[in-house]
């Protein structure tokens, strides 16, 4: 089994008597109320998906990640994991030894040991991470909306975020997926990152990868995404009908990734790979414009960034794929590497085009998506239209 990043799978979920003691102590501590994005980061820290991190970053790690794409100890890491507060709260926290962390409803979840409180440059972070501070970029817009001070320190989580998850059957921690891989005898596992329903091009890539590994971890984002992305419920229904009808069930595991999307393109491709390494994957699929948004990154920048790291530095093997499509002349799925026909023979549909077809009551072509998936999407969009008209 592949080692977690940094060599040890972190566990910051506290149980038993200590959990009860922490919960009681948290009632008298100052409170930082987290937003939904920060709650998902807290969950990732708690279950070890962000190993080797034990909490929100202190200044030395934060600056090293922005400037060098590595933690202060030199370990590869490409995105900041931070907790922001307003300046007024930062001043009071400088004297605190620990603080309670609460979800948006005010429910206390964890205790953070306050190791450092420091200012940061929001615009500089966005330019380093996203290549832009433009408010059109969802990641840069989010950074600009946060407080301008950061609180660093280890966390101890006594109440798991989203513990009453509506999709708990797919809620699997790194320790769980690693156990399942071992039970199934999977030594080589490929991870696939997704925040959209799987269409035919995705299916083609996944099955190509399955030819060289033992199993596939289909690992959709369960945290925050863009407002116009499909809900997790709809996406999971699409995955279910697809796996039921078109995949060998003993070679695929569907599990949720509690993380939120940052839309950081190349840096997020590395970030996603390291997360899947912690979940036990040995390989990770990197396609065209991975974690991209708008025109902020080149179409293959997310693949090129892997060259910045040594062969053994990441510890997980990327599998690079070209843009894939259905070719009417080839009468099958193909890519720019395998198809000699012109654009007029290729079936591409953007997310915008898909939404337009569904909104207008049209049929998605079978060359783009499986009919079972199309049926789920049609039903979801029809329900949405009906609710809007009610």
Residue 199 pLDDT level (bands cut at 50, 70, 90)? confident
Here the tokens at position 249 are: 């069930």
Here the tokens at position 32 are: 């930082």
CA 186 to chain centre: 23
Q: Cα–Cα distance between 213 and 192 in angstroms, integer? A: 13
- 262, 224 Cβ separation under 8 angstroms: no
Tell me the mean pLDDT in the region 69-86. Answer: 98
Higher pLDDT, 176 or 386: 176
Per-domain boundaries in the chain = 16-157, 172-257+263-389
CB atoms within 10 A of CB 271: 22
Fold topology of 16-157: Sulfate adenylyltransferase (3.10.400)
Asked whether the predicted pLDDT for residue 312 surpasses 60, the reply is: yes
Phi-psi region of 71 (alpha: psi -120 to 50; beta: other; left: phi over 0): beta
For 38-64, letters b (16+ CB in 10 Å) and e give: bbbbbbbbbbbbbbbbbbbbbbebbbb
- 223, 256 Cβ separation under 8 angstroms: no
Q: Cα–Cα distance between 119 and 342 in angstroms, integer? A: 53
Average pLDDT value for the chain: 93
Here the tokens at position 259 are: 């993380």
Here the tokens at position 211 are: 């030819």
- 93, 114 Cβ separation under 8 angstroms: yes
Residue 227 pLDDT level (bands cut at 50, 70, 90)? confident
Secondary structure of residue 215 in the 3-state scheme: strand
Cα dihedral 120, 124, 129, 135, rounded to 10, equals 100
Residue 154 pLDDT level (bands cut at 50, 70, 90)? very high
Q: Cα–Cα distance between 68 and 56 in angstroms, integer? A: 18
Kindly report, residue by residue over 314-343, the tens digit of the pLDDT: 999 999 998 889 999 999 999 989 999 999
Residue 274: which of 306, 316, 307, 217 has the closest Cα?
316
- Contacts of residue 343, defined as CB under 8 A and 6 or more positions apart, other chains included, come to none
- 150, 82 Cβ separation under 8 angstroms: yes
Asked whether the predicted pLDDT for residue 224 surpasses 70, the reply is: yes
Return the minimum-mean-pLDDT range out of 75-89, 123-137, 253-267, 288-302: 288-302
- 68, 129 Cβ separation under 8 angstroms: no
Kindly state which CATH superfamily the domain 172-257+263-389 is placed in: HUPs (3.40.50.620)
What residues are labeled active site?
A: 195-196
């Amino acid at each position: 089994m592949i080692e977690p990043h940094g060599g040890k799978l972190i566990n910051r979920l506290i149980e038993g008597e200590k959990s009860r003691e922490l919960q009681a102590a948290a009632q008298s501590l100052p409170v930082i109320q987290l937003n939904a994005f920060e709650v998902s980061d807290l969950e990732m820290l708690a279950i070890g998906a962000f190993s080797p991190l034990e909490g929100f970053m202190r200044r030395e790690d934060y600056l090293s990640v922005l400037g060098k794409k590595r933690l202060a100890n030199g370990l590869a890491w490409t995105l900041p994991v931070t907790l922001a507060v307003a300046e007024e709260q930062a001043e009071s926290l400088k004297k605190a030894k620990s603080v309670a962390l609460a979800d948006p409803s005010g429910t206390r979840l964890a205790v953070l040991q306050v190791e450092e409180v420091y200012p940061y440059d929001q615009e500089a972070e966005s330019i380093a991470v996203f290549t832009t501070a433009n408010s059109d970029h969802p990641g840069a817009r989010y950074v600009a909306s946060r407080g301008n001070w950061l609180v660093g320190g280890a966390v101890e989580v006594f109440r798991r975020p989203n513990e009453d998850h509506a999709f708990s059957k797919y809620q699997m921690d790194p320790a769980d997926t690693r156990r399942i891989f071992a039970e199934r005898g999977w030594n080589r596992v490929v991870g696939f990152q997704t925040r959209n329903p799987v269409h035919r091009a995705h299916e083609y890539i996944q099955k190509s990868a399955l030819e060289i590994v033992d199993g596939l971890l289909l690992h959709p984002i369960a945290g925050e995404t863009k407002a116009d992305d499909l809900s997790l419920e709809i996406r999971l229904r699409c995955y279910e009908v697809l796996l039921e009808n078109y995949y060998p069930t003993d070679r695929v595991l569907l599990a949720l990734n509690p993380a939120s999307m940052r839309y950081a393109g190349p840096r997020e491709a590395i970030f996603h790979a390291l997360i899947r390494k912690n979940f036990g994957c040995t390989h990770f699929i990197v396609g065209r414009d991975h974690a991209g948004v708008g025109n902020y990154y080149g179409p293959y920048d997310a693949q090129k960034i892997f060259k910045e790291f040594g062969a053994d530095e990441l510890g997980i093997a990327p599998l690079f794929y070209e843009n894939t499509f259905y070719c009417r002349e080839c009468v099958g799925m193909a890519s720019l590497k395998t198809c000699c026909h012109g654009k007029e023979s290729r079936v591409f549909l953007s997310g915008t085009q898909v939404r337009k077809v569904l909104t207008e009551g049209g049929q998605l072509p079978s060359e783009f998506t499986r009919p079972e998936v199309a049926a789920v999407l049609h039903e979801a969009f029809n329900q949405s239209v009906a609710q809007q008209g009610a």
